[in-house]
Amino acid sequence: MQRRSRSLLLKLQAGLLMVFVLIIGTVLGVQVLLARASEHGAFHDHLSKLARVGLAAIELAPDRHSDVTRRERFRDWSWSVMADPAVRGAALLDAGSRVVALQPEDIADRRAIADAVAADAWDFDPGNGLGRLELAVAAAGGRQHVVVFAAPFRFSLLSGERWWASLLAGGSVAGAGWLWLRRRVVRLLIQPLRSLRRVVETGCPRPEDTPQNNRDDELGRLARAIERALDDRERSRDRVDVLERIMDQRVAARTRQIQAMLAQAERQAWIDPLTRLGNRRLLDDRLEPLYASQVECAEDMSIVVFDIDNFKQLNDTLGHAAGDELLSFTGELFRGALRSSDIGLRYGGDEFVAILLGSGSDEAAETADRLIKLFRQRASLYKVSLPVTMSAGVASIRTANSNSGGELLKLADAALYQSKRVGKGRVHVHRQDARKPTAVRVS
């Protein structure tokens, strides 16, 4: 009889517990789904706003129908928008959904971007190991599109006060209801049966399980003290668990903030503040991956190293302000004359580097020659005893015996010194085959 009563009471408690768990799980699940949908909508609205801002920056250009102007505007805007911790890159598409400009170049395959925009997708897989990326598009009358790529959406339980208010309210009501029902069941059914069983079996029943809890003698006071101590211990454990969860969540939130700050600092550390070109750190970080990608795709790549001739005499004669002005103009010249797929960098001091993807040594030499001529027109305005010119050295994957981007850069640097040795203001092309004539262009 005692076993049957105990089994019945255990089943009753288990049934009540399952009902409460089901109710609480349903309420919290709905809260999570609503909060996640709201946060994802806000995240996608933020990306769309960034895309609209980029499109507006291009549309407001004085000559927005010029391809060069649109690419330059897009390049300037894309560097600034990538300061956002969530943004991974951006793309500019024309009316036919063809990618005109992409930043960075290896963020995704151009065809995949066009297909995603045509399908009006919110996210897509670029296939480069980054996983699925969030995607937002801003269109201007079907003429052109600006696309922003962002890190995959991550739902955070720390989003919004309503979520926490609902969680605390639901947990408090459920906990209070469960404790009330449990106490009622214990007082009405479990305590009398336990008291009867223990009195029969041991003759020394537990005080909190017997009617002696209501007595005014020492036994009753002791029973009530034990019961209060047990309740206090359980409440203390609950408080400790809640505090541990809160601390874990705060530490996780702080870790995410620090990671976002470091990512933003890394992007800013890639930009030279005077010329607004990439700096040497960007070259060190991206040269080898670009080289490996071009070799894997059997595509050519050229590196051009530039050096300003007689730059020290310009600084000594006209001052460092004039030198900084000429360096700033060189940055504008590189951003305007290079293609959107090319990368211009300030290597250090008065030395610059251009990475031309998909260009052979002859095409790279023509680009270098054009830049040298444009530079000479501006530099001729500075009246110094020796003319301020620019020399360049070119090396490409197909015309050089190199195994890495670093080796290709050294060959281009050696070609630069050869150009300065035979006469400044020239372009010298490195060729592996000594029987072929070395190209030297006089600007």
CB-based burial label for 314 (10 Å; 0-12, 13-18, 19+):
buried
Fill in the DSSP letter of residue 443.
-
User: For residue range 85-136, what is the model confidence (pLDDT) as tens digits?
Assistant: 777 678 777 777 777 777 777 777 777 777 777 777 667 677 666 667 776 6
Short-list 317, 314, 308, 274, CA closest to 376: 308
Q: 64: Cβ–Cβ under 8 A, 6 or more apart, which residues?
A: 58, 70, 73
The predicted structure's pLDDT at residue 208: 47
For position 72, what pLDDT does the model report? 75
Residues 17-76: tens digit of each pLDDT: 676 667 776 766 666 666 666 776 777 677 777 777 777 777 766 665 666 677 777 777
Q: What are phi and psi of 100, to 5 degrees?
A: -90, -40
pLDDT at 6: 59
Please indicate whether residue 106 or residue 200 has the higher confidence score (pLDDT): 106
Residue 150, pLDDT score:
73
Average pLDDT over residues 171-190: 65
Asked if pLDDT for residue 296 goes beyond 80, the answer is yes
Q: Strand order in 87-93's β-sheet?
A: 99-103, 87-93, 144-150, 133-140, 123-124
Please give the pLDDT value at position 215.
58
pLDDT in tens, 327-371: 999 999 999 999 988 999 999 899 999 999 999 999 999 999 999
Q: 214 with 191: CB under 8 angstroms?
A: no
pLDDT averaged over the chain? 76
In this predicted structure, what is the pLDDT of residue 443?
43
Q: What percent of the chain has pLDDT over 90?
A: 29
Range 123-132 contact pairs with CB under 8 angstroms and sequence separation of 24 or more:
123/152, 130/88
Residues in a beta bridge with 231: none
**In this predicted model, what pLDDT tens digit does every residue of 386-420 receive, in sequence order?**
899 999 999 999 998 889 999 999 999 999 999 99
Q: How many CB atoms lie within 10 A of CB 281?
A: 14
**DSSP, residue by residue, 55-99:** HHHHHTSTTTT-HHHHHHHHHHHHHHHTTSTTEEEEEEE-TTS-E
- High-pLDDT (> 70) share of the chain, %: 61
Preceding amide of 104 cis, omega within 30: yes
Does pTM surpass 0.85?
A: no
| Range scoring the smallest mean pLDDT among 117-121, 230-234, 252-256, 281-285 | 252-256
Give the integer Cα–Cα distance in Å for 150 and 52: 15
How far is Cα 74 from Cα 112, in angstroms, rounded to an integer?
20
